[in-house]
Structure 1
Amino acid sequence: MSTEPSGIVVVGSINADLVVTLERHPQPGETLLGRTMTVMPGGKGANQAVAAANLGARTTMIGAVGQDAYTVVALSGLHAAGVDTSAIQRVGTTTGVAIVEVDDGGENTIVVIPGANAEVTPELVAASAETIADAAVLVLQGEIPATSVAASVALARGRVVINLAPVINLDRATLLRADPLVVNEHEGALVLAQLTGSDPSDPADHADHADHADHAQTTRALLACGFASVVMTLGGSGALLASATDLLEIPAPTVQVVDTTGAGDAFTGALAARLSAGDSLADAVRVAVLVGAFAVGTEGAQPSYPSLTDQLPAAPTTSSITTGQETDA
């Protein structure tokens, strides 16, 4: 094992995405005719690994797939991006599947069937202990068991990026290793509730620390819980970065939205790639916002991610919320 951490290790989910396009999303009890269905590689972990590798980061994926017809598809994007897949184990169950509905406005709904992702156990993680310890950046999400997230964090010597999506119950010590914690506005409120014992559905419960409608207050409140840094993604509005020295609003460029599937994963993968390359957190978030904006312009998750040869959208100006001053993005 090398003395200095290097590269990115992603411990997380690997899925096949069944992407259905339709005019609008059905109401409860309603049957609609869809337009198309495409099977693509997906899973939040695999998506983030592909996004990072596409941007030139040396990336290793740790996870599990089944031995069914979806396995080849689920692994195809990782292979194409040059991700090291030698630590992925094949288990005796089905490969994870996500059923994605995308409407004419590019908005999606997703139902995830974990399959083999539920078999990413602490023992499976421990089999790659040296690989995890040697990573400059360890990336985790919420689509594998909480015990395995904790086991991964315990092995890490480098920087830990936790994209807690979906929000699962992690012990406080594990959660606070995130630098940054990456969440959207809804996930941020849930994590805050998890750490403070408040009710995320009751605005009165957040009066002293965060308002659901005030994303800056939520990021500040999360920082006050003990995080070194928090990045809150805001979809087409960009992202907020909170750290001990910064509270920055980083806007997204205006782009035509085709499909938002996997855009948040593109963001997290790009963030990890730039951090592993030595960028400051603020600069890494700026690049990640542009990568996320690029990703919504094409159908699917992994097929929409840019490579080093793609032209990213132009960056808008970044605002410092704490001072109100403008800084050159």
Structure 2
Amino acid sequence: MSFIQELREEFSNKTKKPKELKKSTFQKVFRKVFWILLIFLVTKSVAGDVFKKEKEMEIPEIKIEQQKPAAIAASFTKEYLTYDIQKSLEQVKDYEKRVKTFSADYIKLPDLTSAKANSEVKNVFVYDIERINEDQYNVFTKADVLYSFPKGEKKKSSIYLKVPVGGKDGNFIVEDTPIMLPPPEKINMEYERFNQGEELYITEANKVKEIMENFFTTYCSGKPTEISYYLSNGKPTKGFEGRFTFLNIRDFRVYDLKVNNKFKAIAFVRLRDSISNKEFLQNYSIDLIKKDGRWYVEKLNLRGGNINEKYKEVKENGK
């Protein structure tokens, strides 16, 4: 029964208990108005907080319109390159059904009667998307394929495809046969050694190195509260918790950035996988700050070279 219907019924019966009805009706109306106002205020407050937080969040740029064509192309690639040596008509129909789920019915599929191995796609990656117009995309996919031969031999290989995807009313489908592509050409990248600010002399650098060795030892095996001892913000921070073991620092350099007691350390760190015992080399660029005679870690960064950063002096009063 709605609020209006309740009021109508109460007022239609007012001749039976006029005084009691008047009081009861007023109380009910007051309670309902009170709850409506309360819900409105709470909803407004919560919504305000939510929208405020959304504005403060840093959301990376993601092209939403590319997600559907990318998903269709990836699904198509997996089914298109997954097949068995054809032994029956049912297998042929199963392959066609799987592929046509993501492609137009008029597309001609390959004849698999000549296949000498079963093919299974293990992974599919979309590594590029080319927009033709509002409803057409060329999606570049890479498929990691495992081939199984009748005598038990197995072979791994990768296939690159350029998949034509078309859309209508927000839905997409593979609109023509894909074409095979050669692997993307490997580019030549020059490595530029970090050389900003003024490099510390080896005596001072070794003192900082010893602190960083203690830090990485704690970062690999210590508790969050122990790690916080080395951090400029002093906040408990989760580390590897024994998953990796710190071995040593093979190469270490420190640069005075001449800005607000800030320094940059370049550390080539050796870690060991505690499960497989394999060693890994990690190149870190570490933001350091020196306060009251102590060294603190501000941030661990990727890359020991090719670092393009500019440092601006920030005064204590924020101006």
- Structure holding more strand per residue: 2
Q: Provide TM-score, normalisation by structure 1.
A: 0.21
Q: Provide TM-score, normalisation by structure 2.
A: 0.22
> Structure with the greater relative contact order (CA < 8 A, sep ≥ 6): 1 or 2?
1
